[in-house]
Structure 1
Amino acid sequence: MTIAAEHSMLNPVSIFMEADIVVQAIMVGLAIASIWSWAVIISKAISFSALNRQANAFEDAVGSGRSLEEIAAQAGPNPVHPLPRMLVIALSDWREARTRGLTSEAQGGLLMARIDRALDSLIAREGQRVENGLGVLSVVATSSPFIGLFGTVWGIMNAFGAIAGAGNTNLTTVAPAISEALFATAIGLFAAIPAYIAYNKFSIDAGKFTGRLESFADDLQAAVARRLSSGPAADSRREV
């Protein structure tokens, strides 16, 4: 085998161009899956970074000693981030109930139940939203190695066909088919490994963020409960 032939066998472009049409289709599909998964990875990394950065800033504001009403007013009536939106929802229900008059313990219980349902609904929606895209990573991580393996099997079949056609097992005869088979496996792993790592990382991040929302919801409900027990005088105090 000449040096030029050996170099061609190690050149990914040459391997692709000389591969069987089925193996080429597999390689293209895996490359598209890899690009798609990397797009999701970059998008989720940016998204989680922004969510946590804004959550840190909001929690710092809540812990600064300012009243919850002031923080909610600064966030606006329709905040994008779920933490200030939870605060706005809880205070809105509280103000509505106070306007109507909390004349009994039963009414206070109904207020707490309404706030609890609203916060739970918001947490469920946000949990689904932060998990968007993870299904793509899961599919790429689990299916890419098997798709690459199919390309490997097809390439090995081509190698046996070349042996049968040439009537010998010379390396020159089987090397192209073996190269394309192993290259298909490599592309499958190249697509699967980053997707698998990212899927696990972002699943953990999504769980942590949902837990963060649930903890804040518990704090908000405790704050409203203290206001119910303390009466109107506690309305403007910092309770979380």
Structure 2
Amino acid sequence: MDPNIRTVERGRIVAVDMAAHMSPVELFKQADLVVKSVMIGLTLASIWTWAIIIGHTLKLRRVNRENERFEKDFWTVEDIDRFHHKRGGEELPAAKVFSAGIVEWRRSTGGKSVDKDGTRQRLMTAMHAAAGAEVDKLADRLNILATIGSVAPFVGLFGTVWGIMRSFTDIAGANNTSLAVVAPGIAEALFATAIGLFAAIPAVIAYNRMTHGINRIEARLLRFADSFHGTLSRELEVDG
């Protein structure tokens, strides 16, 4: 057989063997304990990230839909007290803001004399406080996405640096700088960085999108509170 053909065939066999050893599973198996720990931690962080993304996406959609329905129903009622008795106890941000306004209204107008300016101020404070509390509930766990998005790349980079250090140690021990000696260790190291980016990128995107969605919900709650505040303010003028 022609020596050139033998060389080509031998190169193909080496390439296939290296490709088999470069698969994600093999890279994980070949990594040392430190790099494996980094890979496992980043994989768990990625799973946690996607669980939060899916859960909060569904939650925000549901809250938006139910808030819109609640406000639409509210502005069509004639008896606010009856509506409060029927719908005020719902576990919904708009319902919480509405209930806070009604409760403060009853407290402030239940006496013989009514301080109109004080009542208006207390109504606004109560409803805005309720809106803020509901927004805080919606934003729960989003800080986890921010943390993963900012920390995961550096954790992956740590795994990369550690893996490259190990590769150089192997090179020094084998006294051989061929690709077959260098490539596996460097591939393991870069794989750790890839997992870190895989965890971080969705976390950052989801955090920004969900923060924007929560800001929109907050703005809508505050508009609802202001509109309801205007309705109750007019009631004060009528009663006066």
Specify if TM > 0.5.
Answer: yes
Write the mapping of 1:81-120 to structure 2, written as runs, cut at 5 A.
81-101=92-112, 103=113, 107-120=115-128
SS in structure 2 opposite 1:132? coil
Deviates more, 1:6-15 or 1:51-60: 6-15
Q: Decide which of 154, 179, 198 is 1:190's aligned counterpart.
A: 198
| Structure 2: runs of 5+ lacking an equivalent | 1-12
Partner of 2:217: 209
- Would you say the 8 A contact 2:97–2:128 is kept in 1? no
- Would you say the 8 A contact 1:123–1:214 is kept in 2? yes
| Distance (whole Å) between structure 1 residues aligned to residue 105 and residue 152 of structure 2 | 52
Write the mapping of 1:1-150 to structure 2, written as runs, cut at 5 A.
2-64=14-76, 66-76=78-88, 78-101=89-112, 103=113, 107-150=115-158
| Distance (whole Å) between structure 2 residues aligned to residue 126 and residue 92 of structure 1 | 17
| Distance (whole Å) between structure 2 residues aligned to residue 182 and residue 97 of structure 1 | 65
| Distance (whole Å) between structure 1 residues aligned to residue 200 and residue 129 of structure 2 | 34
- Would you say the 8 A contact 2:77–2:83 is kept in 1? no
| Distance (whole Å) between structure 2 residues aligned to residue 71 and residue 177 of structure 1 | 68
Write the mapping of 1:151-166 to structure 2, written as runs, cut at 5 A.
151-166=159-174
Cα distance 1:226–1:10, how it changes in 2: closer, same or farther (>3 A)? same
Question: How much does 1:207 deviate?
Answer: 1.1
| Distance (whole Å) between structure 1 residues aligned to residue 19 and residue 177 of structure 2 | 21
* Dislocated runs of 4+, deviation >4 Å: 96-99
Partner of 1:238: none
What amino acid does structure 2 have at the position aligned with 1:80?
Answer: E
Question: How much does 1:19 deviate?
Answer: 0.7
Question: How much does 1:68 deviate?
Answer: 2.9
Question: How much does 1:170 deviate?
Answer: 0.6
SS in structure 2 opposite 1:100? coil
What amino acid does structure 1 have at the position aligned with 2:40?
Answer: V
Question: How much does 1:18 deviate?
Answer: 0.7
Residue deviations 1:168-196, cap 9 Å, x none? Answer: 21111111101101110110010001001
Query: What is the aligned residue count?
Result: 228
| Distance (whole Å) between structure 2 residues aligned to residue 217 and residue 39 of structure 1 | 32
- Would you say the 8 A contact 2:116–2:236 is kept in 1? yes
| Distance (whole Å) between structure 1 residues aligned to residue 129 and residue 186 of structure 2 | 55
| Structure 1: runs of 5+ lacking an equivalent | 233-240
| Distance (whole Å) between structure 1 residues aligned to residue 55 and residue 159 of structure 2 | 30
- Would you say the 8 A contact 2:155–2:196 is kept in 1? yes
When the two structures are superposed, what TM-score results if normalisation uses the length of structure 2? 0.87
Write the mapping of 1:173-184 to structure 2, written as runs, cut at 5 A.
173-184=181-192
What amino acid does structure 2 have at the position aligned with 1:204?
Answer: H
Question: Identity of aligned pairs, percent?
Answer: 36
